[in-house]
Structure formats: C-alpha cells, structure tokens
Amino acid sequence: MQLPMQVFFLYFSSFIKSKQCCLITSISDTPLPTISHFSYSILACLVPALGISVDGAMARVNSSHPEFEVTYVRFPTSTEGKLQFLGRMYSDPSYYGRLYSSIQVNYTSGEQEKVYFLREQPWLERFLTVLHPIHFGDYAGLFVQILYAIGGLMPGILSILGFVIWYYRQKPGPQRSKSATPRPVLSNAS
C-alpha cells in the first residue's frame, strides 16, 4: 500500500508545481502525507493568495470587537471573496450557536467590510437561526448530544420491544381445562 501512495504523491506534487500553488503541509510524524494533506493541498490551489496576515487580521478584529469570540476562519475561494471570521459574542446565549455571527475582512487590505452579529438582527431571523444549533444538537455540549442520540434511538428500540412483546403474547400458553369449577355469581339481593 505504501508504493501507490508514494507514486500518487509524486504525481500530485508535480501537478501542484505546474499550477504554481503553495503547499499547505500538515504536521505529522509519518513520512508520507496523510489524506488531510492532500485535501489542504488542493484547497491551496483554490484559495487566492492572501495579502495580509491572518493573525494580524484576527488581532484587528479582536481589538475592534473585544467581546467577539472567533471560533472559525473561512478563507476566500475566489478573488471576490472575503476572509470571514465566524464566531459568537460572549454575552450571546448558547442556543445562538458558535458560527452565526461573522466579521468579513478584505483579504488584500485587511479592512473590515461587513459586521454581522446575530443579536442585532430582527427577531424572525434570530428565531430561524436558533433552529440550526437545536436541530444539530451542538448548542449545549456533549450531554445534550447524548440525550439527542438516545432520543433518536428510542423509536427503533420501542418498535423492536413492541414486536417482542406481541410475539411472546401470541405463543400458546398452558391450556386451561374447560371443566374448571365455575365461579360463584354474586347477586345484589338485600
């Protein structure tokens, strides 16, 4: 299995050099690149060269909006794209999610172009956005995800248990003899 990976990597390296793309390498102890290395290398061909430092842009975002917590960085995929810092405000409730507020930065000049905070949006947009983290179960941590998993498995478990109960009720049990002694009838005589 090692030889095909080496041949593929040599071919892929020549492809990257011919396209004049920079290679984004992953830190790894293995001498051969991992699959993530290939996906990052392909991504490097699609992302335009940044004219600014990402750390510098993040420092500017943190200085202009100190209450904003950056949780994800989205790189531009075209020359018209923007460098986006996605995150949340520290004062936002947890059900707002971690990715639904954003600050867009021009990737060549480093200037902030658009600021979008979820808490400043109309109530309908906030309500519709709140449905995303609730749907995916990522708003309150591992405990809620475990509860979601148990709740998702419940219909299957209940249907299997219902079938098992029905099956064992259908089995013929010990037959009662029809010559059993009749029960006494109680009358309402006063």
Tokens at residue 97, please?
A: 């999610």
Distance (Å, whole) CA 87 – CA 164: 48
pLDDT string in tens for the chain (190-residue length): 444 444 444 444 544 444 444 444 333 344 444 444 445 556 566 677 888 888 999 999 999 999 999 999 998 888 888 999 999 999 988 778 888 899 999 988 889 999 999 889 999 998 988 888 777 767 677 888 888 899 999 999 999 999 999 999 987 766 666 666 667 777 776 5
Tokens of 133: 């983290």
Tell me the one-letter amino acid at 152: G
- Look up the pTM and report it: 0.54
Please give the Cα distance from 16 to 152 (Å, whole number). 44
